[in-house]
Structure formats: C-alpha cells, structure tokens
Structure 1
Amino acid sequence: MTHPMRGVIVAAVLGLLCAAGVAAEPQQTGAEIKKLILPGEAFLLEGRPAFVMLPPEEKRSSPQPWIMYAPTLPAYPDRHEKWMHEQFLAAGVAVAGIDAGEAYGSPEGQRLMSALYEELTQNRGFAPRPCLFGRSRGGLWVSSWAIAHPDRVAGIMGIYPVYDLTTYPGLDRAAPAYGLTSDELGQQLKQHNPIERVDVLAKARIPFCIIHGDDDKVVPLTQNSAELKRRYRQAGRGGLVELIVIEGQGHNFWEGFFHCQPCVDFAIRQAKRGVRPATANRVRQAQPVPDGVQAVRNLEFSHPDAEPLRLDLYRPEQAAGPLPVVVWVHGGGWKQGSKDRCPAVSLAQHGFAVASIDYRLVDRAQWPAQIDDCRAAIRWLRTHADEYGLDGERIGVWGSSAGGHLVALMGTLDAPEDETVSSRVQAVCDWFGPTDLLTMPPNVVSEKRTRAQVAQSNGAKLLGSPVPDVPDLARQASALYQVSADDPPFLIMHGEKDPGVPLEQSQRLHDRLTEAGVSSTLHVIPEAGHGGKEFRTPEVQSTVREFFQKQLQQTAR
C-alpha cells in the first residue's frame, strides 16, 4: 500500500537540502528494507522492518482480512511458503509481519506486534481480528501475543510451532530476549511460557489448525502441539484444535508442510471471519419473557466451526405432556440478526414450546451452511425432546425475510440421505421470504442494476458468487424449485407493497405448492411493506397461531 504524497514530500525536502548545499542521507527503499517473496510493501515501523503483501486490487475489501505472520526475520517468509501465501492473496486475504528479532514471544516482541496491529487496523483499514500464522519459533510469537490480546485474534495456524519455550529455544537462549537470567525466566514460566497459559485461549474459544511431524526432534510434538490440544480438551474445547500429525517427518522442508490445504483453508476462513469484532464484545439484549413462560437460553445445538450455535427455548411454566414446537428463524439478509429477537415467543402462552435459533451468517460461511444449521437445530430438538418435554414428531417453523427463505426450504428440500435423526418439519409459516433467487431484483443485471452491483448483493454473498454465475446452486437454494407433493402445509404472508422482496416471490411459491397438491394459504397484508407494524396486529398474530394450532396441536399425540 503506497502513499504518493509521502514520496512528493520527501522529494521536496531532498531538493531543498541539495539547494542549500546540504548532503541528504540516502533513503531506504522497500526492497532494501526487506525482500518479499510476493508483491507488497516493505516499510519501517518503530525502526524495525515490516511488510504487507496485499491481494490483487479487485479482491481487496474493507475492512481488509489479514494474516499476521511470525517470525518475520530477514529470511522469512521464505520460498517454501510461497504457495501458501499465494493462496491467501488469491482469496482476498493480506499477509503482514514485523521483524521483532529473536524475540521468542517476549514482551518486547509483543509490543512490536501490537505496533503493527495498530498501524494496520487504525491507519490502513485492516480487520480487527487477524488470523495468526506461526511457523516453528513463530509459534511462540503468535501464541504469546494471542494470550495477551485474545479479543484481537480470529484463529491461529501453525507449521511445527513452538508453544513451550523450554523445549525450544530453551531457557538459556530465550532469557536475554526477556531481559532475565535463565534462572529468573525459569521461575517466571507460568507468566511467560505460552503452554502454561493455554487456558486463556481455550476460554476465548480461539481455534487452531496445526501441522506437525511426529519425528520432530527440534520442536517435539508431544510437548508442543499435542500438549496444546490436550489442554484444550481438558478445558472442554478439544474440538477447536485441528492437529494434523505427519508420520515420520521431523523439523524440515518437506513439501507437505507448506502445501497443507486444510491449514490454508482454515487461515482464509478465520481471517475473513475476523472482519467482525469478537463475539464476547457484542452485547445482546435478552428477549423479554411473557408472563407464564419460562426461558432456557443459549443451549448449544451445533458446533460446525470455531463458534458454537445456540438456541433459546421458551416453554409454558405449566405444561401437561409433550409440547409441539415452533422454531423461529430470524431474518437480516443472511448477514445480520440473531436469536435474541423472537416474535414467536407469544406462542409459548398458548401451549407451544418455541425455539429461537442462530445460524451462520454470510461473513462466517456461505450456502448451504445456513440450511445445514437449521436442520441441525431440528435434529437437536428431536434428540433432546424428552429432556425438555417436547413432542419431537410435531415441529413447525416460522421465519421472516431471510428466515422466511430458510423455513420455506426446510419445508421443501429433501432431507439428507445420511441423517439418522430426521430434520423434516410438519408445518411452515413463511413471512415474505425470497423463494427464487434467480429472479430477485438485486440478483438480476438490468438497466437499473450493473453487474458490479449484482456481485455485491446479499444473494451473491449467500452463494459466494454472483447469482447469475451459479444458476444451479441458486435453484438448489430456492424453495420454488424444490416443491414436491409430500411437503408440509404452508402459511405464506406477504406485504402488498413490499419494496425488498416482491410479492410475486410468495405468489409463485403458493401457486407451485397448490399445483403439487400441498396445502398452502397465502395472506397478502394490505398496505404493508417488508415487515413492520402491519405484521404485529392481533389479526395477523391470530392467523399464525391458528395455523400452528391446526397443524401441530390438533394432531398431537
């Protein structure tokens, strides 16, 4: 990332110095500061060489996802890692590092890494949480910094990384970097040795992906990567560490260490997730609980990657027998929203259990992750039905906008062949959900919408590509093309003047369901837009309640 005005100012100053007969000091160029294996910028920060390798301009974004690399030394990153870094840049992820010398995770090394972090996040528009990449002794660099700043880390990748400094470089070599004697460092290991403080990272749910040889004599697997995984498992977070052990390999330049696709995919995924602040920093307001209703919050129903998915369960305080369940799926364009706002909670006052679920948003995963998560919630409810007094054979779904899109698919998509617990539902209430992604206006190039705009649509973010480029995937993600005669009953409600999702989207789905012999009712709400107060009237709420009573309660066992 260059700064043209900086060059102009430097040139002007040099000209004045020469005109005054003063000999100007030669200026270091980026190439003189540090030689990079891929195009980028080398610069001085706090007097230390630093670098940024940027993706192609068309793949950059704001905030810019990035990987913080260590150890940045004159020879690193080196040619062995070139393939990995090419994959990062091609995926739109930048790579940066600062030469902290042989810091071994010391406070001074952490300070320099923080200086790089501040430069990139405050001055250059980089994301608040990079994925960290530590190779060999770089593992000490990144794990120590992560322990000091867990809220600034999206994940940690490692190639035979060091986490126990007593194994490498050993106390004698590490002590000078800490400004201590060997004995003093040994007495302060609980403060300075990363492996002693892994619980901080486990508690913050920082995920790892590591590749390590089982014959490593320099950085022994057992005391480093395997021990980190063991401590994570002890903390109940073992699923957050993916440890790839290579039999017969040591601390060497075996190509497989540097062409590890799972590690590359992990780093890209976590770096892109780092555009969001840490979950722990996001304060959510709890859903008010109506009179006569009890809430059990934050039940973990799935753990598809580094962050768990949770649901809130609402039940009548007084309930006789297993309760039919209505699952609420929130909207928000697949990019925002949460389980914490649940309009369906009032049904818990009328003999239903209500589950409000989260699912992965598009900054975390693309299709079909969203429908996979919804299905996982249904399976979890069935598996835990006896524990929570639920009728696992009577489950309905209700969602609005993007949530309407997902519940319509829950009612029409064929269930996965390999599932051992059914994810099928018995009733669907779809509020103004997109049902045909191919014809949704934001996904269609027209006189009003350029291809560049279509590429930035919510549909493109959901599918991972502009919708016109992936028509088969778009059909698979559209309820209109999935209708069959065995689908459950539908109640579809849509605003007459919806500016976001055309009424035609619901009309066409209703017609297709009716043609297939599926029970479907379409209610067009006069003067209503995309949600709003017209959907909160007693009449609308009564219509929804009566639909679920007919489909779930009257047929309950």
Structure 2
Amino acid sequence: MSCLRLGVVLAALVVVSSVGQTAEPQESAESIKKLILPGEAFRLEGRPAFVMLPPEEKRTSPQPWIMYAPTLPTSPDKHEKWMHEQFLAAGVAVAGIDAGEAYGSPEGQRLMSVLYEELTENRGFAPRPCLFGRSRGGLWVSSWAIANPNRVAGIIGIYPVYDLTTYPGLKRAAPAYELTPEELERRLAEYNPIERIEVLAKADIPVCIIHGDDDKVVPLKQNSAELRRRYQQAGKGGLVELIVVEGQGHNYWEGFFHCQSCVDFAIRQAKAGARPTAAAENRRRLQVPDDVEVQQDLVFSRPDGEPLRLDLYRPKQTEGRLPVVMWVHGGGWKQGSKERCPAVYLAQHGFAVASIQYRLTDRAQWPAQIDDCRAAVRWLRSHADEYGLDGERIGAWGGSAGGHLVALLGTLDTPADEAVSSRVQAVCDWYGPSDLLTMPPNVVSEKRSREQVAASNGAKLLGSPVPDVPELARQASALYQVSSDDPPFLIMHGEKDPGVPLEQSERLHDRLTQAGVSSTLHVVPGAGHGGKEFRTSAVRAVVRKFFEQHLHTSE
C-alpha cells in the first residue's frame, strides 16, 4: 500500500553564494535528490533538501514560498509537476526537506524548522510560507503549523492525513516518536494533530483541501472533514474550503493534481505570507526591536469607568526580575500617545519599559494626570510577580508635559492612604516645566494678554488661568515640592528650547541639589524642545547609564 506523497515542491536556490553555514552543498544536486523541475538540492544537517525559485524577473524580496511535505526520495513526483509549475510561474518558490518517515514527530518538526530558518534567515524567504501536505505529508505540515502558528500563512492538502490513528496507525508511527504504541496512544492529545486543530483555528490559519469521499487509506471523515468540523466548532468554519470528490479514493486521479482552487489558494496565501502581518506592522509602527516583546493595552486603572492602558516592553531573553522604567508622554497635557515610546531601547539593556496613558485635559483637570501616573506605578508594583518585574526598582521618564509629571512623581509626597506605594526610585525629566507660575504662556505681559493666558495649556490643566490659582499651581509644580528624601534626578534640556525655557530645568536642578538630592543637569547643545538632538546614541547612553546606576542592583 502506498500513501501517495506530494513532494515538497522543489528546489532551486536563488544564489548559491548566499547559502548559510548550515547548508552542505558539497555533493552534486543529482546525487542528493532528483528533482522533477530544475532546482538546487543540498543538505541540511545531513538531510536532503531542495528549493526551486521562480524565474528571476518574478522573484521578490522577501520571497513568497511553499513548504511541502513529505519530501522523500521519490517525491515530489511527476503527478505534481503541473502544480509546481503554476507556483513558480506566479512568483512563488517551493522547498522541502527529507525528514524520513517522520509522521509529524518532534524530530520531523525540528528538521522542518531547520529548513525554515535556512530559507528565512539566510536566503531572504518570507516569514510565513503556505504549507502543502499530500497524503501523510498532512501530518508533517499540520504538526509543524500547530507548533508554529505565527509562521504559517495557510495550508493546502491533497487527501491529507491529520489523524495518525487512521494512517499510518500507532504501531507504524510510534518509532518515529521514539515511543511504544501504548505510550503514543496515551499521548495522542499531545501528538495527534487532529486533537489540536483548534490551535490553527484560533490563529485564523485558512485551509484548502481536496479529498475523495471513497478514500479507504486516509478516510475523509476522520481527517479532512474532521478538521473542518473542528474549525466550525471554534467558530472559524469560513476559513476552510473542503473540496470533496465523489467516487474517488487514494489514487493518482488527475483532478487531484490539477485542482485550480488549491493552486490559487496556495499562491494567494504564500504571497500574503510575504507581507507584514498585523502584528509585524504593529511592531514596526511601535518601533519595537526584534529582541523585545510587547504586551499592549494592559488596563491599569478605570477612573470614572473609562480604562487607562499601558504597553509593557520586555527583553525576549531575560533572567530574574526586571527593573522598570515608566515612560510618560508629552503633548501639553492635551494630546499625545503611549505609542512610539522612545524608551523602548532600554528593554535591550535589562529593563522592562511601561509606556502609559493618562487623562488629557479634554477629559479631566489636575490632579487627574498625576493620579493616573501614580495608579500606573501602583499597578506595576502590584503586578510585579505576574510580569517578572522588580517592584522595588521603578523609575520614571517623561518629556515636556511628561517631564513635568515624572518630576512631580519624584517630588510630591505620596498619598497617606496608599495601600501600594506610588513612589519611584529614579526620575529622568526631559525639558519639563517645573514652575507653572513662571512659564511664559501663563504670565500676563506685553506679549500676552489675559485672554491668551486664560487659553494656555497650563490654564486647561488647572481648570483656571494660572495667575488666578497660585496655590494650585505651586502644588502642580515640582519646584515647590522638593524635599531631601526625593529620588535621584537626571534633567535634560535643550540649549535653545523655545517652548519651555532652560531656566525651568536649571532652577529645579538647583533646588534639588540644595536639598541634598542627587541631581544631574545635562544641557543638550543646539537642541530645541526635543527633536533629533535627543535621539542620538550619546543621549541614549546618558539615560541608560543613569537608570543602570540607580535601578540595577549592585554587583
């Protein structure tokens, strides 16, 4: 009995010189694997592998591709040639690796990952291929997809196997899993793809299958039809196109291998896999480095019933609890966003970074803004265990209006009724107003009428023109809140800031040092109110060293 094999569609490598170090192309391609179409055969970890590229004028970067299984010495075979020709003509490459009779086992999955990494990391292939499983190749591709749902753009199949109890059966499959048949039976919930199809449904991975209703080798009911049923059960039935061919079994009927719907689906999904995913687009928009993970929109407070959210950035590889730097955005207290957080790079240097929202002045006036900052600190401290944070080492960093707020986090006394402290252990203030009473937009002068002062951002923050509420203005100004127990400060200000005078930071620095608080004033030459001068590696290094000094534990 032969379970027909649709070989991973072929092999032709783009540029031989770009082969990564894991490839071993010493032998001739013919001696490694005979291909049904021109391509390149090579070895990965001693296993035959191949790749075939479309005509040069149709190649793109990243290169869309199809990962095919089961790649075996005789597959892909002549019956599949037409399909592969269609893929290549459409600009889609095809590749595979001979994992032997792996039946979706962990070792087979590992070898497929070796191929994936060779092509995506060394040869410019797209991050999400379409997977193609013919017959028992369905076990290969579904198992790999379940383990790597974020790497899959879609799945097609020709009478594919998804239930290994129907084919090849536990006795034949067990050796590939290095288990006895009895052990494999006990672990079917872990290893049998059909038992975990909901993973694919939840990941919104579309599927297109052609299968005969008289298939005695790979029964339709327990395999392709069961996959569709499980997608429907998960509420994702619309993602599955199942073409049932009446009267056909497990054979070489030409209609299986000239299925235009499957070909069109594979081409469409392979090309979609070369486009950024919504998650990838979001990472690009947020400017998240590859070695940093982000959890977005974590609700930390609900003042007046409306949620306030933060984004939490962490290094992907880390040990132990992480000190936290909380970023507070600027925008005159009336606009701004937690997105595109400039502090994210600190997550590459052993910190967690939280970028927070706070209520803007179109929603609430002072002290709502500082209350929200305090709520965020308390949330980070309360959820330290859940997110691997060090609740005893939290710093605050903000720019402009955000600088004003973090300076107050560092200088205002914490509320006496706090069950969890909102105190921070270090403050980096970028060009924030420290004295609302003397900020030029809040002062009536020859250049500003009372009407203009009444319309200033400071007036919108306090709910009244600043000169009319001097005590409230002092309470909302870090200059008047300094005490000797304040945390260390790093104050950075542009030499030519036209919006917040440099004097605002100079006076705050002087007041802090007079009180015995550690404070460093760093004037950025030639800089205005923020701008490119604050985005240099030198400025980043100053900030990083400050937080390392005051938040990292001493060795």
* TM-score, normalisation: structure 2: 0.49
* TM-score, normalisation: structure 1: 0.49
**Larger Cα Rg: Structure 1 or Structure 2?**
2
